[in-house]
Amino acid sequence: MTGRSSSSESFAGGAAALGARVRAGEVSARQVVEAALEELAVSEPSLHCFNLVTADAALEAADAVDATVALGGDPGPLAGVPIALKDNLCTRGVATTCSSRILTCWEPPYDATVVRRLAAAGAVSLGKTNLDEFAMGSSTETSATGPTRNPWDLSRVPGGSSGGSAAAVAAGLVPLAFGSDTGGSIRQPAALCGVVGLKPTYGLVSRYGLVAFASSLDQIGPLTLTVRDAAVALQVIAGHDPLDSTSLDLPAADYTAELGRGVEGLRVGVISDFLPDASATCSGAVRQAAEALSSAGARVEEVDIPELLHGLSAYYLIAPAEASSNLARYDGVRYGLRVEADDVATMNAKTRAAGFGPEVKRRIMLGTYVLSAGYYDAYYGQALRVRTLIVRAFERAYERFDVLLAPTTPSVAFPLGAKTADPIEMYLSDLFTIPTNLAGHPAVSVPFALGEEGLPVGVQVLAPALGEAVMLRTAAALEAAADPGARGPVRPQLGEALEGAVS
């Protein structure tokens, strides 16, 4: 159903290589951005990756990059690189909706720290990408603007909640996009779309300007075509930010320095507890990846961490509890949608009823319930204790291993509409990614193999807190051993939406 993308041949070498060419004057930023906008105009109607395309602003930013180069200056490592921003990252004067009716047309008065750092590095934003409403979902089907489609097969989901960003990279519309990961929302769509998705250590990247879902779990990270680009992007956005009280007081490191060192002597643990819950192709890809690392000199063995299987239950108590608190600010008074009524209480109720979708309402109600008197200790308090058990289980595992290996998803991309009627089935899509968020550790998904219907399969590398360097070394080794056909960009089958898909 797909072919290799002709979208931007200049993207073939990745974002970092493209930035180097612009800095050297081999190609202009305007040429690059114009080519990207042309391809976006062709593919976007079939994919719906973007909620908003900011073409005029992108061309102005590209011209500014070219002017800096012409004067002999250095615009930064991502000079002229077209990027896409998940629509829960605040952008000054540009609509930021979180794919929710309740924030329709809201324009923040400030930029997120990550947005500022990317602009300072020369990156050019093409616009805001679609997501599950308020990042609550695993398929990008809860978006108030409609679902995004997977470029590999337009009848299937791209994953979620950062589905728009993942699909944009997979289709070759941009070589670099950004998402947020609360329970797997970068890594899961990366796996389903055949791209690299990196969730950093909690606190390594500033959350200032990220519209909050669950504040103790949220983290911003890149989606890219290559592991090297993920390392470069992380280097740009990482580092201390005094505007974020949870930001680690550490400078950004050079995450590319050790990519070529290989894995000789590294201790790799394959999480055996996850394999029975993955499809044959997903578990098989993990075993193939383990064999590849072993052949490259790593010491590989299976490890049992049964506590991780309780992560899903704990997450769906902790995350909704935090969401019910964070989303209380959307009341029709300060910003966003307002449904008029005779009194404030009725206005609040009508605004939220009209503004929030079914999944967001479900999680708010669940979160409010578990925080209520008489239920707090039995549910929320117990979930926090399980979270502690998971953190300690990871600590024991990392005493024996440098990194851990696991499936990213239980299956390849599933058809649109296949799981929308069964929330539990949808939640199980994040079974293998959630424990990392609960622990605050980094993880990266690497496209490694092809599964059913020729769809990509991702393998996940997990590391202890601030273990990004060794994690990316391992990911680079996996990338070198992977089936090259499992990685984007691919050119989507264009035209009308396939019959039977969700509209």
Task: Encode pLDDT of 347-396 as tens digits.
Answer: 999 999 999 999 999 999 999 999 999 999 999 999 999 999 999 999 99
Residue 115 tokens read as 């947005």
Task: Please tell me whether residues 273 and 383 are part of one structural domain.
Answer: no
Sheet containing 196-199, strands listed edge to edge, beginning at the edge strand earlier in sequence = 50-53, 124-129, 82-86, 176-180, 220-224, 196-199, 443-450, 456-462, 403-407, 267-271, 299-303
Known active-site residue 86: yes
Q: Of 370, 391, 412, which closes a domain?
A: 391
- The C-alpha atoms of residue 495 and residue 497 are separated, in whole angstroms, by 7
Q: Of 374, 391, 408, which closes a domain?
A: 391
Task: Give the residue-averaged pLDDT of 116-131.
Answer: 98
Give the per-residue pLDDT at 499.
40
Give the per-residue pLDDT at 495.
57
Q: With bands split at pLDDT 50, 70 and 90, how would you rate the model's confidence at 502?
A: very low
Task: Give the residue-averaged pLDDT of 76-100.
Answer: 98
pLDDT at 2 over 80: no
Task: Please tell me whether residues 264 and 319 are part of one structural domain.
Answer: no
Give the per-residue pLDDT at 199.
98
Give the per-residue pLDDT at 114.
98
Residue the block writes with tokens 């540009």: 94
Residue-range definition of the domain harbouring residue 453:
3-305+392-491
Choosing from 28, 138, 161, 162, the catalytic residue is 161
Task: Give the residue-averaged pLDDT of 238-248.
Answer: 98
Choosing from 28, 185, 206, 324, the catalytic residue is 185
Average of per-residue pLDDT values in the chain: 95
Task: Please tell me whether residues 59 and 131 are part of one structural domain.
Answer: yes
Q: What is the CATH number of the domain that holds 150?
A: 3.90.1300.10
Q: With bands split at pLDDT 50, 70 and 90, how would you rate the model's confidence at 252?
A: confident
Give the per-residue pLDDT at 497.
44
Task: Please tell me whether residues 263 and 354 are part of one structural domain.
Answer: no
Task: Please tell me whether residues 235 and 359 are part of one structural domain.
Answer: no
Give the per-residue pLDDT at 3.
55
pLDDT at 296 over 60: yes
Which residues are 86's β-sheet partners? 129
The verdict on whether omega for the bond into residue 489 sits within 30 degrees of 0, i.e. cis, is yes
pLDDT at 496 over 60: no
Choosing from 10, 43, 86, 206, the catalytic residue is 86
Q: Of 354, 372, 391, which closes a domain?
A: 391
pLDDT at 403 over 60: yes
pLDDT at 461 over 60: yes
Task: Please tell me whether residues 377 and 253 are part of one structural domain.
Answer: no
pLDDT at 205 over 70: yes
Which residues are 82's β-sheet partners? 124
Give the per-residue pLDDT at 9.
54
Known active-site residue 283: no
pLDDT at 5 over 60: no
Task: Please tell me whether residues 65 and 120 are part of one structural domain.
Answer: yes
Q: With bands split at pLDDT 50, 70 and 90, how would you rate the model's confidence at 88?
A: very high
Give the per-residue pLDDT at 335.
86
**Which comes out higher in pLDDT, residue 335 or 290?**
290
* Residue type at 32 in one-letter notation: V
Task: Please tell me whether residues 137 and 232 are part of one structural domain.
Answer: yes
Residue 500 lies in a domain: no
Give the per-residue pLDDT at 12.
67
Q: With bands split at pLDDT 50, 70 and 90, how would you rate the model's confidence at 209?
A: very high
Give the per-residue pLDDT at 151.
97
Are 346 and 352 in contact by the 8 Å Cβ rule? The answer is no
Task: Please tell me whether residues 349 and 473 are part of one structural domain.
Answer: no
Give the per-residue pLDDT at 236.
98
Give the per-residue pLDDT at 501.
41
- Report the percent of the chain where pLDDT is more than 70: 96
Task: Give the residue-averaged pLDDT of 405-419.
Answer: 98
Task: Please tell me whether residues 200 and 314 are part of one structural domain.
Answer: no
Q: How many domains does the chain have?
A: 2
Known active-site residue 247: no
Contacts of 455 (CB under 8 A, 6+ apart): 152, 153, 156, 192, 412, 413
pLDDT tens, residue by residue, 388-400: 999 999 999 999 9
Q: With bands split at pLDDT 50, 70 and 90, how would you rate the model's confidence at 10?
A: low
- Report the percent of the chain where pLDDT is more than 90: 93
- The C-alpha atoms of residue 135 and residue 130 are separated, in whole angstroms, by 10
Task: Please tell me whether residues 141 and 80 are part of one structural domain.
Answer: yes
Across 118-152, b (16+ Cβ under 10 Å) vs e yields: bbebbbbbbbbbbbbbbbbbbbbbbbbbebbbbbb
Question: Please, is 6 exposed, middle or buried when counting C-beta atoms within 10 Å of its C-beta (0-12, 13-18, 19+)?
Answer: exposed
Residue 19 lies in a domain: yes
